[in-house]
């Protein structure tokens, strides 16, 4: 079994209102010095067997096309076999 972890985050140049709201809330609740907050998504995907070759390439393609929106988001993917 392999586990794939895909982190999806808005590109740095895209405004992140959710992150901005969290930044404000952290400050109001007493945490000083917060300079930036970004909120993204994380997917944990369990697959049977070893993920390699064509299946790994397809997983990477789908991480970029299904799990994230390439116009506004970046993703990172790591595989734990």
Write out the residues near its own copies by the rule CB under 8 A.
1, 7, 9, 19, 22-23, 25-26, 29-49, 55, 58-59, 62, 66-67
Q: Taking Cα atoms as reference points, which of 10, 7, 5 lies closest to residue 69? A: 10
- Decide if 48 contacts 65 (C-beta within 8 A): no
Residue number with CB closer to its own copies (24 or 71): 24
Whole-number minimum distance, CB 19 to its own copies, in Å?
8
- Whole-angstrom distance, CA of residue 52 vs CA of residue 4: 12
What residues form DSSP beta bridges with 77?
A: 6
Distance, C-alpha 30 to centroid of its chain: 27
Whole-number minimum distance, CB 71 to its own copies, in Å?
19
Residue number with CB closer to its own copies (40 or 79): 40
Whole-number minimum distance, CB 60 to its own copies, in Å?
11
């Amino acid at each position: 079994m392999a586990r794939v972890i895909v982190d999806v985050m808005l590109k740095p140049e895209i405004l992140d209102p959710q992150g901005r709201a969290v930044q404000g809330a952290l400050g109001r609740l007493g945490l000083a010095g917060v300079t930036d907050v970004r909120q993204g998504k994380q997917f944990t995907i369990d697959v049977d067997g070893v993920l390699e070759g064509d299946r790994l390439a397809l997983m990477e393609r789908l991480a970029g096309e299904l799990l994230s929106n390439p116009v506004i988001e970046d993703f990172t993917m790591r595989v734990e076999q």
